[in-house]
Structure 1
């Protein structure tokens, strides 16, 4: 007879609330490819569409991901800082935050 596995409710709650494993940083080349798709690689893009910078980040998303520690808008921050904020966005939303271009460059499967 096999022993049965009995897990208490507090133990289940612990596992349900445990943080998910950290997402490793994407290679720099991936961010460059994404920027090429999103803004033709222009890290200071301000095209008037409401999205800014190389990765075309919406200002409320920029704020929520901590971008204000660098600049008031993505297009006013250096490339490296835009990527740092984008990593936080990716941690929270996944590659779906850039769905069309992420699919195009192959980091998001259809």
Structure 2
């Protein structure tokens, strides 16, 4: 079974250049910046990783991860929630052929105090 994806067309444009899509709230006109994480935020991501236990898509590692920075996804992908972020992860297993991946998290899971 194949599915087709239809891209949404902007229904209006705000004074600041922001685009409004039917069924969506206003989105920023400028692309978001990478959000550097501090140690406390990285610790929150590590706790989340212990709960979710994601596997490295390349080697299957589930234990050792290095947490990088975050990128807001809501601006880039309309299918994502506006508070979704992709947090960079690096597999800590030696010899992993493709150690870089990421995990999608909500803003409240790591940015809130």
TM-score (norm 1): 0.33
**Which of the two has greater helix per residue?**
1
TM-score (norm 2): 0.32
**Which of the two has greater strand per residue?**
2
Larger radius of gyration: 1
